Each structure stands twice: as structure tokens, then as C-alpha cells.
Amino acid sequence: MPDTITIAVSKGRIFDEAMPLLAKLDIVPKDDPNKSRKLVLETNQPHVRILIIRATDVPTYVERGAAELGIAGKDVLMEYSGDDLYEPLDLGIAQCRMMLAGMKDAKPVSERPRVATKYVNITRNYFAEQGQQVEIIKLYGSMELGPVLGLSDWIVDLVDTGNTLKANGLVTLEHIADISSRLIVNKASMKMKSALIKPMIKNLADVVGEST
């Protein structure tokens, strides 16, 4: 729809922290996402709607034009292989760190360490920059079990408080990246709907600036 802006957001922490920012732009969902089963939420602004999808799908929906804007974690964007997106604004929400971790007091690792992660591209790029060869083992959850059960030497994962690592006998070894949620924009939409999108970006930037 030519006069409509769709914002793709994932449920959970990003959604919970993004909604107060949008509320300051007077964009508020009509339905409570925690009570509604709707995946497309109309808002109090007739030309703005919110699309609720999986975090890893946000850049795909935006790049392919199903949504003009999206809010995605930097980890998802670093892992994503597309390039038809603008990333104009760090929203400073859902902050955490991408870390390399391993067992506390572990023996020296072999020449080609095994690394368990769901962030295959990030891990591959990180170790390529280090000039180190590793064997990457893709997991979809419970990374901490990799070193505990001998599946891997290390893990690459998001760390917030570090309590889960500590509870499983792991420690952080290297800091790979600081992670926060970013506003992303479809490149074609930026041109075609600039009169709607550019003011939203500016207003969001002002709101983020006020909260830092």
C-alpha cells in the first residue's frame, strides 16, 4: 500500500523495549500483542502497522519489501547475508554482548578448536580475522552444553548478565561485538516513501538521543 508504513518487530525483549520508543512518536498498537494472536497489529496511526515475526526473519521481510522498516538486533544483522538494507539508527535497546566462552580452567585447546554456535557467519568471520582455523558446530540452543559435554571446546553466543555461563562452569574468553537493536529500512522504500520514512527516522533519533 503506497501510503502505509509496516514496521517488522520480533516478540520478546526487542518488542517490549521498542514500543516505548514508538509510543513517544505517538505510534501505539490498538491490540495488546501479549493477548492478541494477530501477527499484523494496526496502530492508532492509520498509515502505520506493526508486523510481529521471528527475530531472524526481520531483515528478510524488510529487504524484500514486505515491511518498509524493521527493528532487529545487531547479531541478526551481522549473521544476515543480504545487503539491500539501510541501517540508519542504533536504537540502544536490548543491549548485550557477543562473546567467545569456554570452560573455566580448561586445558589448552587443540590446533583446530571446535566452536558451537548458532551464529555461524559471525563466528566464521571472527576467526578468519584472527587467522585461526576452527571447526564450527551449529546448534540452535543451549550452547553452554557444548563444552560441558565435550561436544566443543568453545562457544560463541550472546551474553547478558553472564549468569548462565557461570552456572554451567564457563567463563568469557573474548569480546566479539557489542549488540543492540537497530532500525533498518528497505532501500527502495527509502526513495519511494521518503516523505513518511525520513521524519520517522529523525523523530526516533531525537527520542533515542533524549534517553542516552
User: pLDDT (tens digit, 9 = 90+) per residue, 33-55?
Assistant: 777 788 999 999 999 999 999 99
**For 123-162, how does the pLDDT look when each residue is reduced to its tens digit (9 = 90+)?**
999 999 999 999 999 999 899 999 999 999 999 999 999 9
Shared domain for 89 and 113, answered yes or no, is no
Please state, rounded to an integer, the average pLDDT across all residues of the chain.
93
Are 44 and 31 spatial neighbours (Cβ–Cβ below 8 Å)?
A: no
Same domain, 141 and 68: no
Which residues, 6 or more positions from 182, have their beta carbon under 8 angstroms from its beta carbon? Answer: 71, 72, 73, 74, 77, 87, 89, 90, 91
- CA-wise closest residue to 196 among 33, 27, 52: 27
135 with 87, same domain: the answer is no
Domain that holds residue 104: 96-178
* Predicted model pTM: 0.91
Question: Do residue 90 and residue 33 come from a single domain?
Answer: yes
Q: Do 68 and 114 reside in the same domain of the chain?
A: no
Instruction: Output the domain CATH number for residue 134.
Output: 3.40.190.10
Give how many domains the chain has, as a whole number. 2
Residue 71 has pLDDT above 70, yes or no: yes
Phi and psi (nearest 5°) for 67?
Answer: -135, 140
Same domain, 157 and 194: no
- Mean predicted confidence (pLDDT) in 90-102: 97
190 and 87 inside one domain: yes
Same domain for 89 and 185, yes or no, is: yes
